[in-house]
Structure 1
Amino acid sequence: MTWEAWWSLVVVGAVFPLMAFTRIGADIILLGGLVVLLTLGVLSPEQALAGFSSSGVFTVAAMYVLVASIRETGGIDFIVRHVLGQPRKERHALLRMMVPVAALSGFINNTPVVATFIPAVMHWSRRLRIPAYRLLMPLSFASILGGTVTLLGTSTNLVIHGLLTTYYPELHLGIFDIAWVGIPVAVVGLVYLWLFAVPLLPYRRSASEVFENPREFTIEMMVAPGGALVNKTVGEAGLRQLNNLFLVEIEREGNIVSVVGPGEQLKSGDRLVFAGTSDGAVDLQQVRGLIPSDQSASNLEKDFKERRLVEVVVSPQCQFVGRRIRDGHFRTVYGAAVLAVCRNGQRLEGSLGQIRLQPADVLLLEARPPFIVRHRQSQDFLLISQVDGAARPVHEKAWLAWFILAAVALLAATGLVSMMKAAILGAALSVLSGCCTLAGARKSLDSQVLLTIAASYGLGNALMASGAAEHMAEVLLTLVGAHPLGLLIGCYILVAMLTELVTNNAAAVISFPVVMSAAASLGVSPMPYVVVMMFAASASFLTPLGYQTNLMVYGPGGYKLSDYLRVGGLLNVLTAAVALLLIPMIWPWS
């Protein structure tokens, strides 16, 4: 091999473990690898930056705007309200939830679908008296299965199709072409979940159950009339330096002061709500001028327009992951106070300020109303669900947003315009029609995903241009045998394993040139391998980290890693068997 090929292998070999075992963002790691290869001269500037002008990246970006228009107009909420209903049996409930989720995920990125369904399903489960853990994992898996039905279902499908048209301009797939495999895979997967998901899942306590009694994690005191603290600021009273407690809010004459600052002046009769350990109640009673609250009901159970209680799920990209809440000044950064932390279905005891946050932790926050709008699309949180309020209203333009998406699918399916042009046209119409604001469109663009895809293109180019992909293909063929079916199975296993460890987009894009080189060595059509990579990249059922929707339900459902292995293991085998059986029948080797 040439020195360029060796350096390409070294960089790619370093990229995967860094993405799998560190908290550094995938986009930063991949861009770093790209810079190294560019600096060493393995890649020319044109090759390194080719991903930033690829059709796949622009198509994915436009689809984010289309999905944002449906979310902003309440299009998904409208469907949620009309499909869940009032089933009488648990299996009926599973069916009523999974089928529409899978259908929606065939046309919309499954992350917003699951994000919208989770709060509705949590409320629905309480009304039906079905434990939430029996519904949330099937919800995530149904969305993943639905994403395999069309090219629009996941960003990975669009990216792989973009690579196909780049490497082989004469080849392409229609939006519904993969449905010949996707529908059987989805049906088999949904039937399996319907029959076996509930029996296989042991009892788990959901985050909402942990948080349902505010008295368990708050302490309420009152400023004594005429006492020593009247007219003193919170800072002067020493209420900001308490070891195991946070002052969350103040109730004053029927109003609420939320996210209290050190300069807030205390008044006679103020009711103070603290979050922290029960031992802190003893310390508070030693503060001169504070007396136990005389109210029988918890202050957090009252409805104040200036205050919202929200549950958030911590993202792996959150800046507080690995840091203590107090050290990171959580309240200052987000304008919200942490009331409690739930991990693996258990509320964490001890001082809140000393807790080091982990991905998928569920936080109960006290915040002002703008917090929900400001952070709904924040990369720090996978999910934001309001605890003490109604769902967002359905807006009058929901039908128009759905019509635009349907028009995009129709234009691309009929071949009148390319998929990229159809998506960009749809995104422009969404903004011009008012279905999505400019600010909403800008926020909808997930820069980390887009940068990850673009940088992955560059690394794939390095493998191809340097000849490293050909050598890796030879190794792959040695392992699986020089037979088209053996290569197909090996390709599926390779991509499915990588997607459990790193992002599915990176796994697919970097594997693409290797698999294409192997197919070229055998002299067979690349189409079966392109399609099998789409399905393998979506086969993320074994771990919560393999797919974002899995991580979104992990905390709220109170799951453990063993639950994903127990339910997702056989599901992985079933979906692989169906895909590997059907793909060669529909896309032959020659």
Structure 2
Amino acid sequence: MDSPQIMILTVLVGTVILFLWGRWRHDMVAMASLLVCVILGLVPTDAAFVGFGHPAVITVACILILSSALQQSGAVDTLTRTVLPQSAGPFITLAALSTLAAILSAFMNNVGALALLMPVALQIANKQGLPPGKILMPLAFGSILGGMTTLIGTPPNLIVSGFRAGIDGSGFSMFDYSPVGLAIAASGLTFVILLGRFLVPTRERAGAEGFETGSYLTEARITEGSKSVGMLLSDLNNELEKSDAQVIGLIRHERRIPAPSPYRELHQNDILLIEAEPESLASALSALDLTLEAEWRSAEAERRAQEAAKQAGKDTKQEDKETTKAQKANTSEKTISTDKTQQDSPQDDIREDGEDVVIPPEKALKSDDVSLIEVVVLPNAAFIGRSAADIRIRNRFGINLLALSRQGQRSMTRLRTMKMQAGDVLLMQGTPHAVAEFGNRMGCAPLAERALHLTDKSQALKASVIMAIAILLAAFGILPAAISFALGVLASLLFSVVSPRTLYDAVDWPVVVLLAALIPVANAMESTGSADLIARFLLETIAQGNAVIALGLILVVTMTLSDFMNNAATAAVMCPIAIGSAAQLDANPDAFLMAVAIGASCAFLTPIGHQNNTLILGPGGFRFGDYWKLGLPIEIIVVAVGVPMLLWMWPL
């Protein structure tokens, strides 16, 4: 063993120890490892940051952005509402949720898939009187299993593909992972669905929601073309009950009907007063093509503003023609005409008390920065005893009041005329700056930016089509995966599916930095011969030259490491060892790389091995030692099914 090998192995051991210790973030440890290698001369200075341009890193970032687009547009919410059974027992519910999580995880970030389905799982657990962990752990494990079935399902697959490209110039294709991945995922899901609930410990929920706002009271309008037109109120209520929502009042022609007959037929432009939980508000509106009243008013105001602007333009043109024809125009008259046109324009700034210069609400509410933000009315706030109409909330601040939560109380007052009380929670729509300005002026404190994805059918369709085209381009080898998904991100920006403000928020930067930093370190392991040294040790002392045992050993070692350290880091560390093992045995390196991809994805024993396991730790009330009871049998299934499938699909 020469000096470079001793140094790189020392750095590798130190890196793994720091990963396992968890004192510092994974990206910090990876960057420190890279810089130490550069200082020691193991990585050339001009190659230190080549990892940031690696196709695997670019693809990971683009996939995260496209997954966010599917999430934000409501495309996945629509799929969830369509596929999941509305009323079923625990077995059917668990089967549907876990299977849907696996399918989504194959084509989007599996952490994002779990985050989308978690609120649904918690609602179902509450309805059926189940401890939330009984559904959350099978759901998390299902999403992990689904991620190993495609190239883009999880970062380790992309890393493995990158190492394979270093061997023969081409990485794995989109569905090269599918035969082995699907067999393992199907076996694991079957076990989870049949026995998962019985192996998950019963724990009390440990506050998954952070804060409770109670039910929202909001107004929704039945617009032209809505499926609600012509429905009986009783039928509409039956549909809303599936989303834990109900109609408590009806407004027709500005007249309030506090207890409408269930047999009343609903008409276009009826306004429904709906009570719904925060998590189910979006699905309640989307299911029946209902439009938030505040959003409808914004759209109507914009339409009128555009018509007024067009009319003003026509009037100006007509005046110009008449003036030219008569040849009596002078500079003074033109100035007066121009001033008059600007004065009549609905886009003119509105001033109040001689101080406020207000952004026109039609412009503010069309901004890419618009968010849904919850605020609470503080004691002694200037807003108490006043309504949104009283303070002209849309004109002065450029924001909409979408819904109000007043725990334990109902009111038939129109939302915009409802007098505020201390403790009211308001769902505001506007730019973060505008909502912050409103909060400062009126005495309201922000609670959180709500992840309420109000489904926009056109945007959801665009997001789905863009993702599908990107996948097809990569799957059929028309374009490399990195280029295909980068084009998808560009298309999402051009068609306003993703806003520039949220573009970079969707990227998990610690993962990107971790990958980019460890790629040169992994290359150093290979160039110094350290990977071959480790491979030779494993083969000679444990596998003793048997290729099948060596393949199983690579899978088990990778899976064990992945239970205690980041799966992307595990893949980056193990790929050179796998390639070295295959070379020592003169075996097919594809089988060994696939074993790394599977092992790095299968972290089921601890809450720290995978982000999905961490995500359910609090909501499920779990302890560190609760995961292995379901996770260990799944890992045994992975080895029992994975090794034969690898030998069949990728003969040694």
Specify if TM > 0.5: yes
2:631 aligned residue: 568
Instruction: Give the Cα separation in 2 of the matches to 1:568 and 1:296.
Output: 42
Instruction: Give the Cα separation in 2 of the matches to 1:52 and 1:35.
Output: 14
TM-fit CA distance, 1:484:
1.2
Q: Is the 8 A contact 1:102 1:146 kept in 2?
A: yes
Instruction: Give the Cα separation in 2 of the matches to 1:415 and 1:471.
Output: 35
Give the TM-score taking structure 2 as reference length.
0.65
TM-fit CA distance, 1:391:
5.9
Instruction: Give the Cα separation in 2 of the matches to 1:116 and 1:175.
Output: 24
Instruction: Give the Cα separation in 1 of the matches to 2:173 and 2:592.
Output: 16
1:540 equivalent among 603, 626, 632? 603
| Aligned-pair Cα RMSD in Å | 3.0
Instruction: Give the Cα separation in 2 of the matches to 1:256 and 1:111.
Output: 43
2:522 equivalent among 460, 468, 472? 460
1:11 aligned residue: 11
Superposed, 1:471-490 pairs within 5 Å as 471-478=533-540, 479-490=542-553
TM-fit CA distance, 1:62:
1.4
1:304 equivalent among 416, 419, 425? 425
- Identity among equivalent positions (%) equals 27
Q: SS of 2:426's equivalent?
A: coil
1:255 aligned residue: 384
Larger Rg: 2
2:175 aligned residue: 176
1:368 equivalent among 440, 446, 463? 446
TM-fit CA distance, 1:209:
8.4
The AA in structure 2 aligned to 1:462 is A
2:193 aligned residue: 194
Q: Is the 8 A contact 1:214 1:300 kept in 2?
A: no
Q: Is the 8 A contact 2:26 2:566 kept in 1?
A: yes
TM-fit CA distance, 1:43:
1.6
Alpha-carbon spacing, 1:306–1:539, altered in 2? closer, same or farther (3 Å): closer
- Deviation by residue 1:273-300 (Cα, 9 ceiling, x = unmatched): xxxxxxxxxxxxxxxxxxxxxx998x99
Superposed, 1:191-590 pairs within 5 Å as 191-208=190-207, 249-250=378-379, 255=384, 303-305=424-426, 368=446, 371-372=448-449, 392-478=454-540, 479-589=542-652
1:120 aligned residue: 120
- Deviation by residue 1:329-365 (Cα, 9 ceiling, x = unmatched): xxxxxx9xxxxxxxxxxxxxxxxxxxxxxxxxxxxxx
- Deviation by residue 1:509-537 (Cα, 9 ceiling, x = unmatched): 11111211111111111010111111100
Q: Is the 8 A contact 2:535 2:581 kept in 1?
A: yes
Q: Is the 8 A contact 1:214 1:301 kept in 2?
A: no
Instruction: Give the Cα separation in 1 of the matches to 2:612 and 2:604.
Output: 10
Q: Is the 8 A contact 1:408 1:422 kept in 2?
A: yes
Instruction: Give the Cα separation in 2 of the matches to 1:163 and 1:397.
Output: 36
1:75 aligned residue: 75
The AA in structure 1 aligned to 2:6 is W
TM-fit CA distance, 1:214:
9.5
Equivalent residues, number: 450
The AA in structure 2 aligned to 1:527 is D
State which drifts further: 126-135 or 175-184. Answer: 126-135
Q: Is the 8 A contact 2:379 2:422 kept in 1?
A: no
Alpha-carbon spacing, 1:554–1:458, altered in 2? closer, same or farther (3 Å): same
Instruction: Give the Cα separation in 2 of the matches to 1:9 and 1:460.
Output: 11
Alpha-carbon spacing, 1:100–1:394, altered in 2? closer, same or farther (3 Å): farther
- Deviation by residue 1:544-576 (Cα, 9 ceiling, x = unmatched): 100001110111011122320111110111122
TM-fit CA distance, 1:92:
0.7
TM-fit CA distance, 1:202:
2.9
The AA in structure 1 aligned to 2:486 is I
The AA in structure 2 aligned to 1:182 is G
1:135 aligned residue: 135
Instruction: Give the Cα separation in 1 of the matches to 2:134 and 2:385.
Output: 37
Give the TM-score taking structure 1 as reference length.
0.71
State which drifts further: 475-484 or 579-588. Answer: 475-484
Instruction: Give the Cα separation in 2 of the matches to 1:107 and 1:209.
Output: 27
Instruction: Give the Cα separation in 2 of the matches to 1:522 and 1:300.
Output: 75
Q: SS of 2:379's equivalent?
A: strand
- Deviation by residue 1:389-437 (Cα, 9 ceiling, x = unmatched): x664455311111111111111111111111111111111111111111
Alpha-carbon spacing, 1:82–1:208, altered in 2? closer, same or farther (3 Å): farther
